[in-house]
Amino acid sequence: DIGTYHLALHLGFVWKEIVIHWWVQLLSDITLLTLLCKQKAL
């Protein structure tokens, strides 16, 4: 029914937001680590 469809759509949207947020966090962490390693190498 339509309620289940809307719930699935909402969950999919929330899941996408979580994944995007997680990836951004991961990439920023990797960038910071890379910068730290470069500074230590110098």
Question: What confidence score (pLDDT) does residue 9 get?
Answer: 92
pLDDT less than 50: residues of the chain = none
Question: What confidence score (pLDDT) does residue 42 get?
Answer: 75
SS3 content of the chain, % helix, strand, coil (to 5): 95, 0, 5
Question: What confidence score (pLDDT) does residue 21 get?
Answer: 98
- Total tally of structural domains belonging to the chain: 1
Question: What confidence score (pLDDT) does residue 24 get?
Answer: 98
Residue 1 corresponds to which tokens in the numbers above? 């029914």
24: domain range?
Answer: 1-42
Q: What is the CA radius of gyration of the chain?
A: 18
Whole-angstrom distance, CA of residue 28 vs CA of residue 22: 10
Question: What confidence score (pLDDT) does residue 27 get?
Answer: 98
Question: What confidence score (pLDDT) does residue 1 get?
Answer: 81
| Terminal-residue alpha carbon distance, the chain | 62
